[in-house]
Amino acid sequence: MELTNDYQGMQDMVKGLAKQAELLDELPRINISDKNPWKQCEKKVMIVFQSRTGTTWLCDLLKKTNVLGHPRESLHASHLISEFKEKKYDNFNDLMVHNVAAHMTENGVYSAKSGFFSLAPMFLLEEFPANIRTWKFIFMKRIDELGQAISSYKLNLNRQAASWVESKREICDDDYSFKEISRELRNVRNANHTISIMLKSYDCDFIELYYENLSEDPEATLKLIAGFVGVELDKINLDTKFEIQRNEISEIWKERWLSESINYNPLNKRIHFFE
């Protein structure tokens, strides 16, 4: 694969994918037909997502089944490069052989979660798009995109990625920003659009899941995933340390943003033409 900087003028999500690929391109690799890290798998599952959609909780539940892999964000370029140098692998393929084995359950199910940009190893090693139709994709989203955007903005402020992580600072109503929440909302929608285009253009085998459905009935969500992947679940363990981080400020900001957004719609300033 030849990498150039032609991506610089592309959409931000694609630009991020290319930057990750450029970083990983420094690692020597061999043809995937000679050593395919995913050849050891019976089933391959990829959870694709944008931040604040409940995927950390979902991955914790999937691990507890012992039949749906051990998913986590294991494809970031910086982490892979550090591991490659630390353990002195001969090539990128060897590194990924061990990476895949570490996230596979005894029944041969490998699973990982990844934002669009960190799918770079899959394309760089040419598992994608060559074998992309042999994968099961779980596209995790939120119905409440504005709530997701507000959650992302709050994360930028307090760095509290999960309920058990200590908040860097208290968030108050003075932190509200229409501009920043709007920017996060655009990011959410752009990411969802980009992922959707990828899945559909490659004719991937995928299902769409929503955080709201997971939150309402996690057992039903796990059963749906198991049926999609093609494995049988035994006892389902729903014990969790995860707590909802949404609070009163989230709801106040949502109402405030919706109210203010009316003034930013140019059609509302010309509504008298339709009266």
Looking at mean pLDDT, say which of 187-196, 199-208, 234-243 comes out highest. Answer: 199-208
Q: How many CB atoms lie within 10 A of CB 152?
A: 19
Question: What pLDDT score was predicted for residue 115?
Answer: 95
Domain boundaries, the chain: 6-143+191-245
Q: For residue range 24-57, what is the model confidence (pLDDT) as tens digits?
A: 999 999 999 999 999 999 999 999 999 999 999 9
Q: For residue range 147-167, what is the model confidence (pLDDT) as tens digits?
A: 999 999 999 898 655 554 566
Cβ pair 270, 190 in contact under 8 A? no
Inform me whether the pLDDT recorded for 228 exceeds 50: yes
Structure tokens at 154: 């709050």
**Mean pLDDT score of the chain:** 89
Inform me whether the pLDDT recorded for 142 exceeds 80: yes
Region for residue 66 given its phi and psi (left: phi exceeds 0; alpha: psi -120 to 50; beta: otherwise):
left
CATH architecture observed for domain 6-143+191-245:
3-Layer(aba) Sandwich (3.40)
Question: What pLDDT score was predicted for residue 256?
Answer: 94
Instruction: From 227, 244, 225, 243, select the one nearest 63 (Cα to Cα).
Output: 225
Burial class (CB in 10 A: 0-12, 13-18, 19+), 86: exposed
